[in-house]
Chains A and B, each alone.
Chain A
Amino acid sequence: MAYQLIGKNFTPPDVAAKVTGKAKYAEDFRAEGMVFCRLLLSTMPRARVRNIDVSEAMKMKGVVGILTADDVPEQNAPNNPILTNNPHYVGDPILAVAALDEQTAQDAIDKIAIDYEPLPFTLDPLESLYPGGTNAREDGNIRNRRSGSETIKWTAGDFVEKDVCPTGKPATEWSYGEVDQGFENAKLIVDESFVTANNPHHSMEPRSCMALWQNGKCFVYGATQSQSRPTRDLARLLDMDSEDLVYIAEYCGGGFGSKGTAYPVMAIPPLMSKKVGRPVMMRISRAEEYFIGSARHGFQGRIRIGFLGNGRISALDMYIIQENGAYRGGGDWTAAGDAVSLVYTPQAMRFRGIPVYTNTPIRGAQRGPGQNQIACVVEPLLDKAAEELGLDQLAVRRINAPDNDSKYGRRQGPVTSVYMREALDKGDEAFDWAGKKQKSRQKSGSKVIGVGIGQAYHAAGSNGYDGLVRLTPEGKLHIHSGVGNLGTFSHTATSRVAAEVLTCKWENCVIERGDSRRHLPWNHAQWGSNTSFTMTRTNYVAAMDAKNKLLEITAKDLGGSPDDYDLSDERVVHKTDKSKSLGFADAAKRAIELGGKYDGHEAPEDIHDMTKASVAGLAGTGLIGVAKDNLKREGVVPAMAVGFIEIELDLETGKYEILDYVGVAECGTVLHPQGLETQIKGGAVMGFGLAALERYVYDPQNGLPANMGLYQCKPPSYLDVPSEMKTEVVDIADPQNPVGAKGIGEPVQGCAAAALLCAISDALDGHYFNRMPVTTDHIVNAAAGREQSYKVLQVNTV
């Protein structure tokens, strides 16, 4: 289909503010009389607070208020608390102090004496599962599938096999096909235990937050990657009506899943502000961001894969022990199982898993949660199998690649569209796989070439949210977006669908977003790579609603039926008699005159209350297009990505250089080529960090974190990634999206991470590390033929 706007580059309306410094992030807001608040964090990995002595602190001039766990709404266990008297990890927030200036707040915190009763703690899920092992929480050691806690202990017998991940009673289990039969048919079975590390999100913007109350309304300037969703969720946290909450999140300095919606500490500034009667700024430091800013779940696990002689996977059996942190955490473990079922389409598969609490910081979804870790586990194993079977790495991926008929997950449900082979083909050609493979393992001095391919997946689309557009008497199209601003520019890319449907010139469009006072619809959070799919649908249905109203109004005024008219260049034009036409500006005026549904005085029944309130707020200001996305969606919406990589690894130093990287996206119709390219490359950068740099490290003796700051957590710098990367796209429309779009943000990280691990292994003659990240010391040991210093299943270590 020939589009005017879709698939074309544009200058996002928010980019100029980013390069001039005018973009306002949460910490950039000020208010008259603003005070500062700081957090007191637990110094113990697990304890009960017996007493808090604030007397010295309260005597200090300038201290205006203290908030403890007793002053804030309690959250249901095991949800993350706002503040707690039962800290479950070093860094768990216990109280907050507000003072006229920030230094006084910190000085006051230094004077507060906390009497802790230390409690036993654990940093290793396997230790907690061992009979008699420590539970990280009072209510159990595992999170069950109903999001409660319970205690599961395995038998000592489960642990007898040395250096093999034990697989005792799981929290969940599913399978499809004849798994045993599949393994019997296999020509080769690989069977490995593995560990993937936890790693903090460390978005560049720490989650600072400012809040104030005015005339019964609460104003919150927050750091979230979404808009409408956190408005609702923060109101819930504060136990207030979302209509009384003004939420501003026009810019967000990165979230990667950790700022998807409101999070508990965000409630502190509004609560403190209420208490002290002044605006409150809570600046979050980098170390605090480490503690409360969430992290990816680490896994311990075991995987067995059976391969037929041609490389086809006949059976796959996977067990994942998810390190859950001390609180609720996310669903990485189950997502990993679902991902494997689709990406490798095993003929039969069993998945088992269990999420186990440890006394470490809160976890949550991080870019490709579950899918990206498991890609890093499985992809190098495909190479290992390919080598043993005498097959090409690419051939093994092709033969197992999913297509439109593939099934997904525990229920083996359908997919909307998958073009994995096409993605592999694109990469093959752009990278020259055959040519590059010739160079694999070639040595020059101490250096050796390694090549690799990685694949990853994420479910990238949702439905059921609302769209809202408005044509004004000035002839402008206002597209109201409640999705958020994670930095992908997709708030605008998806809004262009409305302009496309309504034949509007882009210069005449205004995106309304970033502030709940701008009358925003109920939209999904900007997470899970869903925006492209979900928001093109909402904007499409809203625009279609506006279109229908335009046709109706014109038919009323100029005669005939609405079907006799169509839209063209911001006018409603009669299909055969071009002299009959009405401009959008005039149509908007007519809509206001007509009232009712045309100008928002009436709204559809099925839209969300938040959207209804926004429509009511806009009533009488123009022609309103508003609708809930009731379009068909059957099946999961897969975003697929493939990475091809060539590295040169120095066997003497363990260092490598990435010589070439090609990232391929399979995300349906391309909405915004430049934006897509930045996602593919940026995802790759983050993937290289995931594969080879970033990890939690804890001292098991005292529960202290070794890697808090950026210099210890090591997100990749300019000099750790290639200065130029190549991108490719499949660009085949998804049938269940009106413009064919699917999301992409997440798998572009996982494929790069997996590809890099494959290339490192390739350079080391196929050595499989059983572990991610693979860091310099691991490579040095492997290259020197030394034993690794970590134990096979050891977690939170080097």
Chain B
Amino acid sequence: MNTNLSREVVFSDDAAMGRAGMSRRDFIKGIIATGASISAMGYVFGGCAGDMGSAPGAVERLISLNVNGRVRRVDVLPQETLAMTLRYKLGLTGTKLGCDRGECGACTVLVDDVAMYSCSTLTHRVRGRSVVTVEGLEGEDGALHPVQRAFIEELGPQCGFCTPGQVMSAVALLEINPNPTREEARIAMSGNLCRCGAYDNYLNSVMRAAKEAS
């Protein structure tokens, strides 16, 4: 047997532009200077400006995001995914990362009412659109969304890690189809993996939520 793999030098360095060169303090200072408001817990992922985005027509890093009905100015890298922006810049950790590859659905959020994998959506793509995460479902009085209530009553979650994503898919479904059949619900929910295998109870939850809303 041989290991004929020369994997070390596959990647050229020309793209290694603008490596992280900012401390957290620099970053925060930068934000303050531009009058931006982000949540207190902001984290940098990489690449300070450098020559990034300097070419004409490239995206502006400082953008407005409408998340859960609130518009905020956020500094967003070109390659940043929505999941990372939500979790690390806006402090919305209800959106989970199970795979970061479109293979599990834990990161599901609504973009203009459509269920999307936030791990596989660039934040720059949702500029000017409305993003809803699991944190945005509760009513102003703190009342749970009917889907959330049904998930509790039917004991949908087990470990709970896939649950926010499941809830979001259920909400998306009921928006467009308030009275789904169980089979329709099953198909609509099918982009959400549950390793605990709680599918049956989740479907019971969706059906209950539909029934109670009607």
Contact = CB atoms under 8 A, between A and B. Distances in A.
A15 B156 CA distance: 9
Interface residues of B, number: 73
Interface string A203-240: 11110000000000000000000000000000000000
Given A21-B135, A703-B3, A683 B95 contact: no
A486 B159 contact: yes
A34 interface: yes
Contact of B199 (A16, A44, A683, A685): A685
Interface string B14-37: 001001111110000000000000
A746 to B, nearest CB: 13
Nearest to A283: B97
Given A43-B7, A100-B24, A684-B197, A719 B187 contact: yes
Interface in A703-753: 703-704, 709-711, 715-719, 721-725
Interface string A7-36: 001011011111111111101101001101
Interface stretch (A113-121, A343-351, A639-647): A113-121
A682 B198 contact: yes
Contact of B161 (A11, A254, A256, A675): A254
B161 A15 contact: no
A762 B148 CA distance: 42
A690 B24 CA distance: 46
A107 B104 CA distance: 26
A45 B118 CA distance: 34
A489 B106 CA distance: 21
Contacts of A144: none
A721 B199 contact: yes
Given A61-B20, A709-B99, A21 B93 contact: yes
A102 interface: yes
A62 B19 contact: yes
B152 A19 contact: yes
Given A114-B8, A254-B196, A723-B186, A61 B103 contact: no
A286 B97 CA distance: 9
B8 A113 contact: yes
A723 B199 contact: yes
A103 interface: yes
A633 B99 CA distance: 43
A20 B134 contact: yes
Contact of A23 (B5, B97, B160, B199): B160
A253 interface: yes
A702 B4 contact: yes
Given A19-B148, A33-B24, A45 B160 contact: no
A256 B159 CA distance: 10
Q: Which secondary structure characterizes the binding site on chain B?
A: loop
Contact of B101 (A110, A286, A683): A286
A750 B104 CA distance: 24
B21 A61 contact: yes
Contact of B158 (A488, A703, A719): A488
Interface string A250-271: 0111111000000000000000
Contacts of B103: 286, 709-711
Contacts of B199: 681, 685, 718, 721, 723
Nearest to B202: A718
B148 A204 contact: no
B45 A487 contact: no
Interface string B67-96: 000000000000000000001000111111
B58 interface: no
Contacts of A202: 195
A18 B138 CA distance: 13
Interface in A307-332: none
A701 interface: yes
Contacts of B167: 19
A531 interface: no
A710 B134 CA distance: 23
B139 to A, nearest CB: 12
B138 to A, nearest CB: 7
B94 A101 contact: no
A285 interface: yes
Contact of A204 (B19, B22, B100, B106): B106
B133 interface: yes
Nearest to B13: A111
A27 B43 CA distance: 13
B95 to A, nearest CB: 7
A120 B97 CA distance: 37
B114 interface: no
Contacts of B21: 61-62
Contacts of B7: 43
A30 B201 CA distance: 32
Contacts of B190: 717-719
Contacts of B189: 718
Contacts of A196: none
A678 B98 contact: no
A700 interface: yes
B41 interface: yes
Nearest to B135: A21
A485 B196 CA distance: 13
B64 interface: no
B123 interface: no
B51 interface: no
A719 B186 contact: yes
A99 interface: yes
A700 B100 contact: no
A715 B187 contact: no
B148 A24 contact: no
Contacts of A286: 98-101, 103
A114 B187 CA distance: 47
**Which 10 pairs show the lowest CB-CB distances between chains A and B?**
A21-B94, A685-B197, A103-B46, A253-B161, A487-B159, A18-B160, A682-B197, A104-B20, A21-B134, A28-B93
Given A19-B148, A723-B186, 11 more contacts: A19-B151, A61-B21, A101-B46, A104-B46, A107-B20, A113-B8, A254-B196, A256-B195, A682-B158, A710-B104, A718-B203
17 contacts: A15-B160, A16-B152, A62-B19, A101-B45, A102-B46, A103-B20, A104-B46, A107-B16, A285-B100, A681-B197, A685-B199, A703-B3, A710-B103, A715-B193, A716-B197, A721-B199, A723-B182
Interface of A: 9, 11-12, 14-25, 27-28, 30, 33-34, 36, 43-45, 60-62, 99-104, 107, 110, 113-114, 118, 120-121, 202-206, 251-256, 283, 285-286, 485-489, 674-675, 677-678, 681-686, 700-704, 709-711, 715-719, 721-725
